[in-house]
Chains A and B, each alone.
Chain A
């Protein structure tokens, strides 16, 4: 099969799941005639009709809630939130409801719901449209949170998420939509939740990332390889469940770890991994766990300021070199 974009991989997964299971339907703003704000759902409204590709008003709290209520009846809604920034107006539905319902009602009812939402930054979209908030959700029991970095994982994890009986926040990334890659030739292509992947093998430093930052990490690894530094890139793929074991196994090999993420580092994915690794890799670490994230400001508009705030390859590379220097490398 020819390479596909991340966007096409998502569309293919949605198309196949809509075709496979009548209980699956899509809901969101502009996902029908408009084809999706980022064109992920293009053609599906024409193919499946307005009942299965349901266009909504600008009512995130309303239609996320409606997705929950439909999921409680056994349907499998896949909701598109135009960007993850807008999920904040539906936060009560996600955190107080979707995440709580099964437990609070003693297991009597579940919520097989997927919420797709792209995060990411870099196109001067400014403070209210440039956030990567996945870590906030990953801290909430009752939710599952995934953030695939490749077309194959986007395809396989979206299908797995739709078939999952629990609420899944499926974090996409604006910059990833045009990334191309191969889909698996054989098998169903399903990718399990809670399993990280080794995106590149190496021996000197473990560089942990998720979503678009994995692509940055791979480029950083290329650059460092030119100086003879061997970087292992771990793609978390899933934030809750978090595959700590794969990261720890890598750190036991490299003895050094840097966590990069597109969101703010404070209370972030790197913070969580640092806390866990200091316990399970206490004797393996040759240096403290290092973190790189977005600068801790609201994203500014002016291009030089935006570049200064982003966790660009140059910032990740500098952090990696600094960490290695601490170890005399």
Chain B
């Protein structure tokens, strides 16, 4: 546990940093709880995957990124966006499908991104963003940039073919990327044991002669320490790694899943006793870095931030229907290229048709 101690020292010697990690996790927790409520009020559509209980795995690793590193995540990405610093109002606006959302209402819950902060997306096909993240690491090597990629995904992705192809390419090409399996025990309702012949996911790294490691994903400092060390190794030595962070999602796979038929109430309760935010709050108290009142003030602050995000999302404008075709192509010549394709196209695609109610 010497490694954990080193990680603790880095963060806990800096009270502001230590409290910021708490604040980030609290913000995600509150944001997710209020998102669930807004979803049940039908203000948010589509799928909605909450990461309540997984905050430390996300925040701890993302905190180890430096400006210039790139981040990829799965569709369970609300917390990812908040952890990189995307404004909560813009994230909530995306969930509400508003033009002011981070993807102008085109992506929704599963496809958040923040290019300015090098967060390249929440992705909706399990495992498929691993090769893409690998390509971003290839671009960093190609351009000789001193940065790395952090690619987060759920345990379900480990059973896909693209997991294998991405890790193999990263290893044979010596790419600066850390693959982080956020193991929350279930891919939808299928357990890790049921899905994987080798349920110790980090051991897969050996197949690629890659460093593999497992840490307590509910210990934000342990996650941060491991991610920091592996990202440094990726940046400085161009060596990829596989990091498994063990955690749990309290809610179901999505808001539509009560999360009860494939696991016991006792199991959920046992994980709640290891809650990452409660644990970290207690640690801050033990070390004299925060009083109960300090933490309460943070909770109140993040609650206000989320309330403000919801208020702004409610008030924001939806994208106009005349913007339906925006962002499909980006080349400056695309309109000219497509200018001879309207003839005889289906109704609605020819130009000049009447509009119809939606």
Contacts and interface: CB of A to CB of B under 8 A. Distances in A.
Interface of A: 25, 51, 56-57, 59, 61-75, 77, 92-93, 96-97, 102-110, 141-142, 144, 164-166, 192-196, 238, 240-246, 248, 275-280
B86 to A, nearest CB: 12
Contacts of A105: 103, 106-107, 111, 113, 121, 327
Contacts, number: 189
Given A108-B115, A109-B113, A192-B333, A62 B131 contact: yes
Given A107-B326, A107-B327, A166-B329, A70 B343 contact: no
B243 to A, nearest CB: 19
B166 interface: yes
Interface in B319-337: 326-334, 336-337
Nearest to A75: B139
Contacts of A240: 341
B94 to A, nearest CB: 8
Nearest to B118: A73
User: 3 closest A-B pairs (Cβ-Cβ)?
Assistant: A65-B131, A69-B135, A276-B344
A64 B165 CA distance: 11
B284 interface: no
Contacts of A248: 343-344
B269 to A, nearest CB: 38
B109 to A, nearest CB: 12
B180 interface: no
A58 B37 CA distance: 47
Interface string B24-59: 000000000000000000000000000000000000
Contacts of A92: 125, 128, 162
Contacts of B129: 65
B338 A241 contact: yes
7 contacts: A56-B169, A72-B120, A72-B135, A73-B140, A105-B121, A106-B102, A248-B343
Contacts of B101: 106
B134 interface: yes
B217 interface: no
A65 B162 contact: yes
B338 A194 contact: yes
A164 B139 contact: no
Interface string B9-24: 0000000000000000
Interface string B108-129: 0001010100001100110011
Given A104-B111, A164-B333, A194-B339, 20 more contacts: A61-B165, A64-B131, A65-B129, A65-B162, A65-B165, A69-B136, A73-B139, A92-B125, A92-B162, A102-B330, A105-B121, A106-B102, A109-B113, A166-B331, A192-B337, A238-B337, A242-B341, A244-B343, A277-B344, A279-B343
A244 B327 contact: no
Contacts of B131: 61-66, 68-69, 93
B168 A57 contact: yes
